[in-house]
Structures are given as C-alpha cells and as structure tokens.
Structure 1
Amino acid sequence: MAFSRDIFSRSICIVLSLVILFSLPEKVHSELSLLPPQKGMCYVTWDKDQFASKYSDESLAKLASMGVEYVSVCITHYQEKYDSTKIIETERTPSKKSIKHVIGKSHELGMNIMMKPHIDLIDKGDGTYWRADIGSATEKGWTKWFEEYRKFILAYAVMAEKMDVEVFCVGTELSFASQRTDEWKSIISEIRKVYSGKLVYAANWDNFKNIDFWQDLDYVGIDAYFPLTYSTNPSLEDLKNGWRKWKNEIGAWRSAVDKPVLFTEIGYACTPEAPYSPWKVASSGNADTNIQALCYKAFFEVIWNEPWFAGVYWWKWDTNVRSGGRYNRQFTPQNKPAQKIIEAHYKGGGHDNVYARAR
C-alpha cells in the first residue's frame, strides 16, 4: 500500500507540474525576459580611423544624451562585382583598432552595441546591382563565396565576443544569397560556437518572408524601408495609414515565426520621395526636413508600442556631431526636427505592452 500511495503521489505531482507548465505564457517557456525596445541608431563611417577620433567620441556622447541605448556599429567590406568571390577591406573600411574604440567608448557611455558587418559592391554596374544581388550562377561559385563569407563574418563574431557586444548581425540585405538556407544555418551554428550574445539577420523590407532560418536566430531583423504612401503631399494620417498596412502584415506573419522583430535599419531622406521610396539616396533640390519628421512621427505612433516590436535602428548618425541641419537632404536626423522626435520617444520610455524578448 505504501508503494501504491507513493506511485499515486508521484503521479499527482507530475500531473500538477504539467498543468502549471502548460498554463504558463509561451514567453516563459522560451525563457524570455521582459525588456523595453532597443532604442537604437546606426553609427557609420567610411574612413579607416574616424571611429577613434575625438569627434566621434563627441558624437557618441550626444547619442547617449538623447536616450539612445543601442549603437549599431556598421562595418563595410567590399567585393568587386555581384558575382565575385573575394571579400576585401578598402580605405573605406574602419580599422579593427577604431572599431574596438567605438565599442569601448559606447559601453563607457552606458550604451549597448549591435555589430553589423555590411558588404557593398565596388562595381555596381551603373547602379544596376547592389548587395541583394550578390551570388553565383554556379555551385562552385556559391561554395567559394560562402567560404569567404564564413571567414569574414566569423572574424567579427570573435571580436564581438571579446568586446562583450550585445547583439551580432550575421548578414545584411543579402537577398539572393539568403535563399541558400543550409549554408546560413551552418554559418549561424559556427557563430554560436564563438559568440554568446544574441543573433539577428537584417533582411531587406521586401524579403523578410522568404528567409527560412529565422528559427536559428534570436530576432527577426528587417531593414524597414517600407513605402508608406504615393501621395505627393502626405499628411501625418496618410503616413500612419501606410504603416498600419505593414503593421498588420508583419504582425500576422510574425505569429507563425514567433520571434520578436527588430527594425535593424530604417530611415528617410529629406526629400519629397521619402514616403514612397524611403531607400532612395537624396540627390538635388531643396531639403524638406518636415517630411522626414512626419515619417518618423508616423512610425512612433503606429509601430513603437506593438507587442511584437523589439526595437529600431535609425539610418544614420555621423561621427561629426555637427552634421545634418536644415539644408541637409540626406538621411541623417542630426540637427533636424526628426532628432527631437527621436529624443522625445527614447527618453519618454518604452512599450505600453512589452513583448518578452530573447536576451
């Protein structure tokens, strides 16, 4: 009888444990913790040593004063053409010494780091090609390219681990190459062996649904240059309606993936085209800082408090704190109305409803 009672007691304990386990929210099952969204900024240079300059230190201090909590350190390497298999540094690639300096300085100022290595093309074929087209027509070419990419990305993953980098981006906007799921899974597995932080891939806005290795990562990453409206003189409500469409689409898709979503890059130039071609680099004409500010405001009012949203990184902040200004047509929000909008939201708190994010 004692043996029977023991078996019965154990059975009851097991049943109760299972009831408790399956009544817990799914986010607890995933061992996720409640965190505010990442209040980020993309930090860039196309100079060997600028990240280690006193001007850069001053610019980082300004970011910290604005409530920025995550700095995306963007590091660009190059390949000659879209089908080349050699990834190289140029005089426009930040030196390892300067990268270590900018990471250390950001940490000293209380900010976290996302390391985001990029690959650009030297020969873009008169603008026909960009990094999304990188790839090969042959299996031999793919093998060579992934061998080169593996060496490139693992070197930065090792540095990220040594520098206590919080988030590491395994790739950026490599739409054609991202179809090679097995190769990416292998690379991600190798990165996990040398880097203990959180991983993300930055998919282009029109390609995030085509990625089949999200489950190997901690975040879904989207470079979120979504067209919002084709109106030539949009109101704030027009822009918000554009975001509502994408909010619903991302939210519905994300429920199947069950990963928090980072906007690993997003930005708007000060041009009339920004609402419908936000990826377009400014060329000529007068600066319209108001349309940039409206695009920022629409984002914060529609996306910022979504429960699946894990944070945003604005493109881009320059190492010169005095960059930008009212006559500047480029992407930077520096010294423009958009800067004040960022600061108001970053210093004003996080989500109303906070999603449980991997950490």
Structure 2
Amino acid sequence: MKLKQIIPLIAAIIIIGIAITVLTGPKTPETGDDNQGTPSTGGETPDSSGETPDSGDTTDVTEPETDDDGCIEIPPGISRDYEIVQVEGSVNETIELSAGSIFGVTADQYSWSQRFADMTTLQYMSNHILTINEPDNETATVNVTYPGVYRIELEADDTTYEMELKVTTVGRPMEMGVNFIDLYGEIGGPEFNIYPDDPVCFQKALDHALAGPVRVDSDWIGLISGGFYSQVDPPVMQDDDHYLCLSDEYFYGEFVDAAHERGLKVMETFQQGPYLFFTPEQYDELADVQQTHLWWDHWFDEWEKFIVRRCTMAERHGVDAVVLMMFAETSFNPDIYPEYADRWVEIINSVREVYSGEVGLSFVNADERLTFIDDLDFISITYFGGLYTSRVGAIADVSNPTMEELLAINRNMFEGIEYFWGNNSLIYIVITFDSTDAMFSTEDPEQRTATDFNEQVLYYEAFFSTIGDQPWVRGVFTERWDYFDEYRRFDPEQAYFDETNAASPRNKPAEDVVALWSQIYHSAAP
C-alpha cells in the first residue's frame, strides 16, 4: 500500500460505515482513459473561450530546474489568465446589456445567449440559468437569481462577441477556510515538496502554498494530522512519521507562523487509523476487538494521551482551533461502550487544561448520539460527492447531475442538521468535491475516470447557493487543497499524487467559485 493511501482509505471505510444505514452504495461508472479530458502540459494560456490549446505529449519527464538560490523551481501551473469584457450586477435586479456600450457594435441582427462550460474548460462559467429578455434586440436585459460569473455571447450579424456577467449580492457574515491535503513532504516529485531541506527553499514552498488561500480571501487554513495504531490490542497510538502525522515541530511552527503572518487563522484536525503496514490478519483482529468494551476503554485512554500531547504543541504555536477527532461518531458505540460521552467530556476537559483555543469535533452527519454538544466550541460536518451520488433516485444520471437535483439534496441534508443542532450557530461545513465525472473518487490512478472541472464547479455552486440561508452555519471549509498551483504530476511514476481529477480546487475553475463566495460573505458587516 502506498504512503498516501492509508489515511484517506481509512476515512473512506469510516464514511461508508457511517452512511450505509441511510444510503445505498454508489455505482461505479465505467473507467475510461486516464488522460481523458486532461489539459495539456506547459504554461499554456487559454483564450477567452476557456479552452487550452494542445501542446503535445504529457509523459516526457525532465529534470527540474533550480533558481538563483539553488532551490528547485516550483511549477507555475496552467495559466488561466485571459482578457474579456466584464459587466457587474446584483441578484434580483434587472441588468441591461447594450451591444453598443459594451462592445461598440452596431449591426442589423443581434442574438444574445448564455454559454456554458464543458468538462475541461479552465474558466468559471456559472451553471445557473439566467433569463435573457428581448435577446434579439441591440439592448437586452437579464434577471439573475443566484450569484455567479455568467458567460454571455452576442452574435451581431456574422460576428460573435463574448462577455462575463459577474453577479453578486450582500451576504451575511460567514467564515471561509481551506483544508490542505494531509501529506507533509514530497508529493509528486522533487519540484512538489512542501518541506525541502534548505530553509530558504522551505520558505519559498510555504509562500507558494499559502498564496492559494490568500487568493480566495480565506479566513482559515486547516492542517490535517494523523495518529496511527502501532498495535491492535490494546491499541497504541503513534505519530512519529512526519510525512503522514505532521509531527515535525519545526515544520509545524513555521507553517503556523507563516499563516498567521498572512492574517490566516489555523485549525488543526486530528484523524486516526491503523498502522501503514498492518497485515490483513491485523485488520481482521482490529474489527473483532472493536466489538469489546475493554478495547474501547483502552482506546479512550490512548486517544486522550495522544490528543493532549498534540494539543500542547498546538498551544505552543498559537493554533487557533483544534478538531479532536475526524469522524468522531465512529467512537460513539452506546451498545458496546455506553460511557463514550463521559469519556469524551473527560478528553475535552483534559485538552482545555493545556490548550486555550477553540475545541471541536468532526462528523459526517448530524447525530443524536452527540449528547455533550455544550462542551464543544464548534462542530465540523463533512460533505463529499458520495453522499450525493449514492442517494437513490435523487440524481437521475450521476454523470450529468442538474443544478435543481443538487440544490434539493443540499436542502434535504441541511434539514437534518437543523433538526438536531439548529439551535447552535457553531457549525462549520467541510466540502470535498472531486473534479471528475460522476464524482467518482479513487486512490488508484488506473481506475480514475474522466476529468470534469465543470462538475466540481456545479457541486460548489449548488452548495454555496443554499448554505447561506442556514442560520446555524458559522463557516465553510473547502478541501483538500493542493500546496501547488500545478495540479498535474508529470512523472508517470508519480501519477498517484496527480490532482487533476481529485478534490483540490486550486487553480481550477472551482477556485473562482470559492473566491466569489468569499467576497459575498465578507461583504456583510461583521
């Protein structure tokens, strides 16, 4: 099993176990060519149509170049810069589009229409449908219900013109955050290293990594660290592998300091799973002993020791908030271990003795077994593509979901949160949507399906268009962000780390959706 696999794999197993009582398993679409729909290599700049010109084979691997400081140069990623006329407006207002004033055009025939992105378009074009009134006139008007960046075409006689219509609103105050991926070192070759040995190169890597959250005007960054069972029974937790566990305190302190210097708060989330090299027999043993009261007694003892030690380090470096466990409901087993709530309160109280920041827990869904909510400062809930695609009958075609279907699913899921926890305005939602067809997520590069940047945009738009109406939400985190603007990995041996059709929205059209909604949420008076 490869290094990157273990935590996401365990998380996937946990999520499936949680969701299985209410959801059916997602259907696996047929796999296609690994490179299908993937943009071409190089520093290409798309034209205003959003398409990237083809520049040849992507499989050639060259030695990375170094800069004047001897640091390996970080690839810049595909440029998405382009020139286009932009008009701004507000939702629920009539917006006038004049061919003469916008394009300086006079013609005998006019035709205004909305254009939509395809799977590999590199610019953000809203999937919401706007209403164009009098589309055959020199001056048309549009009415827009949802914020977004809309692409509009004007055909005047035999010439086509394009423009963007950026539509915003004044939102209510809401915090925005970015969760980085959960690996801390080289992730795809020497040019993709977040922790180079040289201190100067390390600072350059941090500069590049944190430029992403700054671009979208984020309030928070999230760091995900891990603890592993090095022994099954009784469980023993270890975190001595920095690559997976974020345990190197120099790196940790420098990352936190760099975030704070840029005005970003830091939230650390702790996740747990079996040791990387567990045998199938050890996995079977783990599944068996987790059905016993004694094992959970040991587990809470061990997790408390681990979490108090790590929160002590978080306090030393001024981390602003900690999530004491990702998918904490996996430890809520009242039939096996009815004392779980009391034990969690003990852990929370122990943490508060060494840590002064905010303390929360992570869940996949609202859960009535959380009886100690008043002991927490916040809760985070994770939404991921599988929660949508596995809802029977909710999406007619998972490869072509509609905006209306996703809006309806969001409203349905929000009802559950409001029912259980709606009186508490302390909830962060974490969203994880892949840029792949049918939201098909896999760790195996050979099983990945076609890249679909616009489907990721669609899910983001549907989510943000509904979450702002919920009074109980404090903020939204998007995950898992790559450290690098270049989401491709050019060495075939490093295909495992390729983020082209993975969850990172960085330097993809979905990043622009995040930036738009950050602007909206930050436009409101605090």
Residues 1:106 and 2:267 aligned together: no
Q: 2:487–2:506: 8 Å Cα contact kept in structure 1? A: yes
Q: Which residue, out of 61, 69, 73, partners 2:211?
A: 61
Distance 2:245 2:432 in 1: 22
SS of residue in 2 equivalent to 1:223? strand
Q: 2:177–2:476: 8 Å Cα contact kept in structure 1? A: yes
Could you say which residue in structure 2 is the equivalent of 1:92?
244
Q: Which residue, out of 213, 217, 222, partners 2:376?
A: 217
- How far the C-alpha of 1:337 sits from its partner, in A, is 1.1
Aligned length: 312
Q: 1:260–1:310: 8 Å Cα contact kept in structure 2? A: yes
Normalized against structure 1, the TM-score is what? 0.77
Structure 2 portions without partners, runs of 5+: 1-171, 187-192, 196-201, 334-339, 490-497
Q: Which residue, out of 420, 425, 428, partners 1:262?
A: 428
Residues 1:332 and 2:469 aligned together: no
Residues 1:309 and 2:473 aligned together: yes
Could you say which residue in structure 1 is the equivalent of 2:329?
175
- How far the C-alpha of 1:142 sits from its partner, in A, is 1.8
> Residues 76-225 of structure 1 correspond to what in structure 2 (within 5 A)?
76-80=226-230, 85-89=235-239, 90=241, 91-94=243-246, 95-121=248-274, 122=276, 136-179=290-333, 180-205=340-365, 208-225=367-384
- Tell me: CA distance 1:165–1:106, structure 2 relative to 1, closer, same or farther (3 Å): same
Could you say which residue in structure 1 is the equivalent of 2:221?
71
Residues 1:41 and 2:41 aligned together: no
- Using the aligned pairs only, state the percent identity: 21
- Tell me: CA distance 1:235–1:291, structure 2 relative to 1, closer, same or farther (3 Å): same
Distance 2:519 2:287 in 1: 39
Residues 1:295 and 2:295 aligned together: no
Q: 1:224–1:266: 8 Å Cα contact kept in structure 2? A: yes
RMSD in angstroms over aligned alpha carbons?
A: 3.2
Q: Which residue, out of 252, 265, 270, partners 2:419?
A: 252
- How far the C-alpha of 1:157 sits from its partner, in A, is 1.3
- How far the C-alpha of 1:297 sits from its partner, in A, is 0.3
Distance 2:508 2:228 in 1: 31
- Tell me: CA distance 1:70–1:324, structure 2 relative to 1, closer, same or farther (3 Å): farther
**For the pair shown, which has the larger CA radius of gyration, 1 or 2?**
2
- Tell me: CA distance 1:98–1:221, structure 2 relative to 1, closer, same or farther (3 Å): same
- How far the C-alpha of 1:222 sits from its partner, in A, is 1.0
Residue type at the aligned position of 1:234: P
Q: 2:378–2:428: 8 Å Cα contact kept in structure 1? A: yes
Could you say which residue in structure 2 is the equivalent of 1:348?
520
Distance 2:320 2:244 in 1: 25
Higher helix share: 1
Structure 1 portions without partners, runs of 5+: 1-34, 355-359
Q: 1:51–1:101: 8 Å Cα contact kept in structure 2? A: no
Q: 1:103–1:163: 8 Å Cα contact kept in structure 2? A: yes
Normalized against structure 2, the TM-score is what? 0.54
SS of residue in 1 equivalent to 2:217? coil
- How far the C-alpha of 1:84 sits from its partner, in A, is 6.0
Distance 2:357 2:476 in 1: 18
Could you say which residue in structure 2 is the equivalent of 1:12?
none
- Tell me: CA distance 1:44–1:83, structure 2 relative to 1, closer, same or farther (3 Å): farther
Distance 2:287 2:467 in 1: 29
Q: 1:45–1:51: 8 Å Cα contact kept in structure 2? A: no
- How far the C-alpha of 1:177 sits from its partner, in A, is 1.3
Q: 2:433–2:503: 8 Å Cα contact kept in structure 1? A: yes
Could you say which residue in structure 2 is the equivalent of 1:29?
none
Q: 1:305–1:350: 8 Å Cα contact kept in structure 2? A: no
- After superposition, the C-alpha distances for 1:42-83 in whole angstroms (9 at most, x for unaligned) are 112423585543323311122112211101111122225876
Residue type at the aligned position of 2:297: T
Distance 2:412 2:461 in 1: 16
- After superposition, the C-alpha distances for 1:103-132 in whole angstroms (9 at most, x for unaligned) are 110001110011112113336887xx89x9
Q: 2:219–2:265: 8 Å Cα contact kept in structure 1? A: yes
- Tell me: CA distance 1:142–1:248, structure 2 relative to 1, closer, same or farther (3 Å): closer
- How far the C-alpha of 1:208 sits from its partner, in A, is 3.1
Residues 1:320 and 2:320 aligned together: no
Q: 1:260–1:309: 8 Å Cα contact kept in structure 2? A: yes
Could you say which residue in structure 2 is the equivalent of 1:227?
388
Q: 2:381–2:428: 8 Å Cα contact kept in structure 1? A: yes
- Tell me: CA distance 1:48–1:141, structure 2 relative to 1, closer, same or farther (3 Å): farther
Distance 1:165 1:79 in 2: 25
Residue type at the aligned position of 1:182: D
Residue type at the aligned position of 1:203: F
SS of residue in 1 equivalent to 2:237? coil
- Tell me: CA distance 1:271–1:337, structure 2 relative to 1, closer, same or farther (3 Å): same
- How far the C-alpha of 1:296 sits from its partner, in A, is 0.3
Residues 1:241 and 2:395 aligned together: no
SS of residue in 1 equivalent to 2:318? coil
Distance 1:154 1:342 in 2: 34
Residue type at the aligned position of 2:213: L
- How far the C-alpha of 1:36 sits from its partner, in A, is 3.0
- How far the C-alpha of 1:309 sits from its partner, in A, is 0.8
Distance 1:273 1:287 in 2: 10
- Tell me: CA distance 1:82–1:243, structure 2 relative to 1, closer, same or farther (3 Å): farther
